[in-house]
Chain A
């Protein structure tokens, strides 16, 4: 099986290169292969989710900071 995976990753990288994939895609593909060898498919998913959460957390932070700049609407006092 290991042999098959090595063979497969080689084929995938070759295919990506031939189809003009950028370096980032190739690096991600290599990382996926190495994560797979390290901890199997679950580990691959976890690592990609870490990447996703990193991007999301920066985006969320920016969103929060952007919202802070916008003045909040003042609540009108209701008279009783």
Chain B
């Protein structure tokens, strides 16, 4: 295994900002890569990362699986190539990696002082010498993004970054992979199912018990007793049924049926179904027997026609009776017309009388008028002296009274006559309706009469015809009775079979319900029953949950122990770097606290970075209290101290933009710390910070010296690099 590997040189072509081939000679010394933003500084340090591991941590290549973004877009052959030359205690180690934009994987070649490897073998060798990609990031390469992750306020991101630094990200992933919650959910689901099924079983037992009771109740209704509910009795009854139905079927002129010997309840039940069908067939056959059917039809037809005629006849008689009664009461139509004529004549007379009185009244009135105009002093007849006014008044009074009486008599008579005429009119209408009704009923009666006559082949009418019909019906009934007797016997036989079938069915129903009950009882009372097996599966699931929970807790405890060990080991150095870098006026030391945090049922390590004052015993959370600059110093102190503790073959440290947010004083402190780090490591710093550069020029005096790589004038071909010793 090689030791103290440092970077001797790197050749980059077509990777990110680099287009044409450029070789940067480090010669194992410290290097400051400086230049403005976007001139390829980060690309240079990323090239080291890519050569070693074929990946760049802080470039998200989600857009394509081929990671085409690594390849310079202007490169004609669309190929990226890096050759990293490392110098160890036993010679040179050269890694050559190249990849085409369209290809998913890169080609790898790795040569050591003793052997040369390609592809998978080369990967394995690199892994055994340089460790993993994560190891590289926790001990060698502090990227600006990683500094941010350590200082982030999001605890999950911070914990993950610190776990990576401590090499515990694997345990974190492992803890997350244990599906404790899923197992717990399944446990709950199975428990729920168990409760449901237990309730269903209880319900089924009650239902079966009720079923037995109801089946027995029905059977008792058929005069069965408690002792009768057995298969043998049922079989005996069944055999009787078979014997009877066979005879009945043959008697009805149907084919002789065949039955299988029943061996259990199901066979019996099927046999009874067949018997039921045969009973139906027999009944159909009996009803369809021609002679019986003909007689029945004839009887029904005559009875119907007779009843209809009888009904209409009665209706006609009723109508006629009603008409006659009216005629008796009101007189005949002719009589009424005569009466009407006489009334009308009298009315005319009264009218003439009234007219005569009217004209007489007018005449008298006119006479009085004339007389009242001639002033007579003596009577024209007896020549006596008279007062004409008195005479005329007397006369007028007498005349008007006489007229009034006469007119009143006339009016009275007229009213009476009018009422009589109205009554006559009403009676005429009633009689007309009665005649109409009688005629209509007569028409109906004639039709029914004709129908009955045709049915009976008779010419008789009315009551005689009805008597004939009655006689015919009695005759037919006698014939029916004669034919019906054997049919009735057949029906009675079928009825008997039907009853036996009902008894058999009732016994079978009780037996079936008892079997159901027994089966349920037997299944759920047995120790080795299915419900017990189901319970054992719940126990297994529950046990799996407990085991996982226990393992998870043990992992969390071990994880915290490992983190603690690591932190304890590096605490002195961390505080020393912190003091040198930060120089905080109050908080003179730094510490990482570890705790366990329960995230959705899973225990996880969580870290708190705290600064404290040794003298006053006060502490604070760096993340919430420190300024960004101080936090940056704290992150650098953590990284550099932990980096120095890890066992590794690489003796170089890469810092990308370490001075972000630092003031000039802290930049100066950083340069001093870099000097300390350079005692054991080749320090490579990429920076765009001219102040830091100035501080480095003034104060960075490592034992092996350093080179400055000035990046400038970035163009299509890549950066222009000027090396200054």
- List residues of A whose CB falls within 8 A of some B CB: 1, 4-5, 7-8, 11-12, 15-16, 19, 21, 24-25, 28-29, 32, 36, 40-42, 44-45, 48-49, 51-52, 55-56, 58-59, 62-63, 65-67, 69-71, 73
- Cross-chain contact A12 with B548 (CB below 8 angstroms): no
Residues of B participating in the A interface, judged by any CB pair closer than 8 Å: 131-132, 134-135, 167-171, 173-174, 176-179, 182-183, 186, 190, 193, 197, 200-201, 204, 207-208, 516, 519-520, 523-524, 530-531, 533-534, 537-538, 540-541, 543-544, 546-548, 550-551, 554-555, 557-559, 561-562
CA distance A32 to B549 in the complex (A): 13
For the complex formed, measure the closest distance between the CB of B463 and the CB atoms of chain A, giving whole angstroms: 49
Inter-chain CA distance A63–B540, complex, in Å, is 15
> Could you give 28 example pairs across A and B, Cβ below 8 Å?
A1-B167, A8-B168, A8-B171, A8-B558, A15-B558, A16-B551, A19-B554, A21-B550, A21-B554, A29-B551, A32-B174, A52-B179, A52-B541, A56-B186, A56-B190, A56-B541, A58-B533, A58-B537, A59-B537, A62-B530, A62-B533, A62-B537, A63-B534, A66-B197, A66-B523, A66-B530, A69-B523, A71-B204
Contact B183 A70 (CB under 8 A): no
- Asked if B534 and A59 make an inter-chain contact with CB atoms under 8 angstroms apart, the answer reads yes
Q: Establish whether residues A44 and B547, one from each chain, have CB atoms under 8 Å apart when the complex forms.
A: no
Distance of A71 Cα from B207 Cα, bound (Å): 9
**Given A32-B174, A45-B177, A66-B197, do A55 and B537 touch, yes or no (CB 8 Å)?**
yes
Q: Which residues of chain B are near A7, meaning CB under 8 Å?
A: 562
Given A16-B550, A45-B179, are A52 and B186 neighbors across the interface (CB < 8 Å)?
yes
User: Do B562 and A55 touch (CB < 8 A)?
Assistant: no
Shortest Cβ gap from A37 to chain B (Å): 10
Q: What chain B residues lie within 8 Å of A24 (beta carbons)?
A: 543, 547
Report whether A59 and B516 are in contact in the complex, using a CB–CB cutoff of 8 Å.
no
Q: Is the CB of A70 within 8 A of B201?
A: yes
Does B541 lie within 8 Å of A11, measured CB to CB? no
Given contact pairs A62-B530, A62-B531, a sample of 19 additional A-B residue pairs in the complex whose CB atoms are under 8 Å apart: A1-B131, A8-B171, A11-B554, A11-B557, A11-B562, A16-B550, A21-B550, A28-B547, A28-B551, A29-B554, A44-B178, A45-B179, A48-B544, A49-B179, A56-B537, A59-B538, A65-B530, A69-B524, A71-B208
A66 touches B204 (CB 8 A): no
User: What residues of chain A lie closer than 8 Å to B543, measured between beta carbons?
Assistant: 24
**Shortest distance between the CB of B335 and any CB in chain A (Å):** 65
Q: How far is the CA of A24 from the CA of B543 in the complex (A)?
A: 9
Distance in angstroms from A19 CB to nearest chain B CB is 8
Expressed in whole angstroms, the minimum distance between the Cβ of B636 and any Cβ of chain A is 23
Verify B551–A25 contact, CB threshold 8 A: yes
Q: Would you call A59 and B541 a contact (CB within 8 A)? A: yes
Asked whether, in the complex, the Cβ of B554 is within 8 Å of the Cβ of A12, the reply is: yes
Question: Is there contact, CB below 8 Å, between A5 and B171?
Answer: yes
The reply to whether A41 and B544 contact each other, CB–CB distance below 8 Å, is no
Contacts of A4 in B (CB 8 A): 167-168, 170-171, 562
For B207, what are the chain A residues with a Cβ–Cβ distance below 8 Å? 71, 73
Overall SS of chain A's interface: helix
A69 to B530, alpha carbons, bound, how many Å? 10
- B197 touching A71, Cβ below 8 Å: no
Which residues of chain A come closer than 8 Å to B562, judged between CB atoms? 4, 7-8, 11
Let me know if A1 and B179 touch, CB within 8 A: no
A1-B167, A55-B540, A70-B520 known; A41+B174 contact, CB < 8 A: yes
Chain B residues with Cβ below 8 Å from A63 are 193, 197, 534
Residues of B within 8 A of A5 (CB): 170-171, 174
Query: 7 closest Cβ contacts across the A-B interface?
Result: A41-B177, A59-B537, A11-B558, A41-B173, A62-B534, A12-B554, A45-B177
In the complex, how many angstroms separate the beta carbon of B190 from the nearest chain A beta carbon? 6
The interface residues of chain B lying within 8 Å CB-to-CB of A28 are 544, 547-548, 551
Chain A residues near B197: list those with CB within 8 A: 63, 66-67
Question: Is B541 a contact of A55 with CB atoms below 8 Å?
Answer: yes
Q: Across the interface, which residues of A come within 8 angstroms of B550, CB to CB?
A: 16, 19, 21, 25
User: Complex: how many Å from CA A19 to CA B540?
Assistant: 21
A42 and B170 alpha carbons, distance in the complex (Å): 12
Determine the distance from Cα of A45 to Cα of B177 in the docked complex, in whole angstroms. 5
Expressed in whole angstroms, the Cα–Cα distance for A18 and B531 within the complex equals 36
Q: Which of A25, A65, A70 contacts B200 (CB 8 A)?
A: A70
Which residues of A are found within 8 Å of B519, using beta-carbon distances? Answer: 69
Q: Taking CB as reference atom, which chain A residue is nearest B537?
A: A59
A25-B615 Cα distance, complex, nearest whole Å:
48
Chain A contacts of B558 at CB under 8 A? 8, 11-12, 15
A66–B541 CA distance with the chains assembled, in angstroms: 19
How far does the alpha carbon of A45 sit from the alpha carbon of B540 in the complex, in Å?
A: 18
- The answer to whether B204 touches A70 (Cβ under 8 A) is yes
CB of A42 within 8 A of CB of B177, answer yes
Contacts of B179 in A (CB 8 A): 45, 48-49, 52
CB < 8 Å neighbour of B548 from A11, A48, A56: A48
In the assembly, what is the distance between CA of A28 and CA of B183, in Å? Answer: 14
Cβ–Cβ contact B544 & A55, under 8 A: yes
A16 touches B554 (CB 8 A): yes
Query: Nearest Cβ in chain A — how far from B221, in angstroms?
Result: 21
Q: With A1-B170, A51-B544 as given contacts, are A41 and B176 in contact (CB-CB < 8 Å)?
A: yes
Q: How far is the CB of A5 from chain B (nearest CB, A)?
A: 5
User: B534 to A69, Cβ gap below 8 A?
Assistant: no
Q: How far is the CA of A49 from the CA of B186 in the complex (A)?
A: 11
Q: How far is the CB of B107 from chain A (nearest CB, A)?
A: 26
B204 surroundings in chain A (CB, below 8 A): 70-71
The smallest C-beta distance from A3 to any residue of chain B, in angstroms, reads 8
For the complex, give the distance between the alpha carbons of A12 and B175 in Å.
Answer: 12
Chain B residue at minimal CB-CB distance from A22:
B547
Report how far A71 CA is from B547 CA in the complex, Å.
Answer: 39
Alpha-carbon gap, A59 to B557, bound state (A): 34
A42 to chain B, nearest CB (A): 7
Max chain B Cβ within 10 angstroms of own Cβ: one of A25, A45, A59: A59
Which A residues touch B530, using CB under 8 A?
Answer: 62, 65-66, 69
Expressed in whole angstroms, the Cα–Cα distance for A64 and B537 within the complex equals 14
The smallest beta-carbon distance between A56 and chain B, in angstroms, is 6
User: Could you say which residues of chain A place their CB within 8 Å of the CB of B544?
Assistant: 28, 48, 51-52, 55
Please name all residues of chain A whose beta carbon is closer than 8 Å to the beta carbon of B208 when the two chains form the complex. Answer: 71
Give the Cβ gap from A22 to chain B, nearest Cβ, in Å. 8
- If the complex has contacts A1-B170, A59-B541, A63-B534, are A45 and B178 also in contact, measured as CB distance less than 8 A? yes
> Whole-angstrom distance between the alpha carbons of A63 and B534 in the complex?
7
